Amino acid sequence: MSNTKNITDVVRTTSIQKSFGDQVVLKDISFSLREKEKLVILGKSGSGKSVLIKCIVRLMVPDSGNIEVFGKDITGLDTEQLNELRERIGFLFQSAALYDSMSVRQNLEFPLRRVKKIKDRKLINSKVEEVLSNVNLEDAIDKMPSQLSGGMRKRIGLARTLIMDPEIILYDEPTTGLDPITSVEICDLINDIQKKYKSASIIITHDQNVVKITSSRLLILRDGLIHAEGTYEELKKSNDEWVHSFLN
C-alpha cells in the first residue's frame, strides 16, 4: 500500500521538545501542515511559536522529536540537502529583513544570483517585475528600504520570498507594527498569494484580522503543548475561556 501521508502533508512534526536552559518552551508538539493549507498558530508571547517554525527550517534544532518536510526527516539531512530543502521554503521575518544598503531591485535580485545562480539578465528582470506586480509595488523597484513605509517593507519582504517560488511560506507576525487598514491589506495579500502560488503556509500571529481572514485551521499553544486545534468557526463555539481569550 502506498504511503499517502506525504501526498497531503508537507510538514509533519512528532513530539517536538525544545528547552533553553531550565526554560521548557516546547514540551510535546505534534501537528501536520497540509498542501495548500494556511495554518495559523496562536499563543502568548514566549509560548514557542517562533521557535517552532525556526525548528521546521532547522534554524534551531529541537532537543527531541521528529520533523518531516516534504517527507524527509530534516534532522538527517546534510548541509547540501538542507539547503536544497530550504530553497522550497519561504520565510517572512517580522522585520522583513531587507538589506538597507540595497535598492528594492537589488534586494530581489540577490537570492536569484546568490542561491539560484541565475545570470540571465532578462530572466532576472522578468522575475523581479513579476513578484513586484504580485505585491502591487511595481513603482517601488528603484527605491531604498528607508523610503518605504512599514506596509511596503512587508510587501517587499514577501516579494523576496516569492521570487524563489516557495512551496511552503512561513510568516512570523506578518502584520506587526502595521495600522489596521494595512494589516487587512496584508491579510488579503496572503490569501491572494496562496491562490496564485498554491503554497502551504504557517502563520504566527497575535492579530485577529490575520486569524479571521487567512486561517484554514488554527493551533493554540499553551504551556508548551497544543491546547486547542480547529477552524476559526469551530473554536469560536468552544466553551474554553483560554481559547476565547485569543478569539475576541
Q: Which of 33, 29, 105 is nearest to 60 (CA)?
A: 29
pLDDT under 50: residue ranges of the chain? 1-6
pLDDT at 5: 46
Q: Residue 220 and residue 43: Cα distance in Å, rounded? A: 6
pLDDT at 117: 85
Backbone conformation region of residue 14, classed left if phi is above 0, alpha if psi is from -120 to 50, else beta: beta
Question: How many domains in the chain?
Answer: 1
180 within domain boundaries: no
233 within domain boundaries: no
Side-chain half-sphere CA neighbours of 67 within 13 A? 25
151 within domain boundaries: yes
What's the grid cell of residue 64?
527531541
134 within domain boundaries: yes
pLDDT at 177: 84
Task: Name the DSSP letter for residue 87.
Answer: T
107 within domain boundaries: yes
163 within domain boundaries: no
Radius of gyration (Cα) for the chain, nearest Å?
A: 18
pLDDT at 187: 92
* Residue-range definition of the domain harbouring residue 123: 100-156
Q: How far is CA 108 from CA 56, 69, 129, in A?
A: 24, 26, 10
229 within domain boundaries: no
pLDDT at 116: 82
pLDDT at 6: 43
pLDDT at 1: 38
pTM value is 0.89
128 within domain boundaries: yes
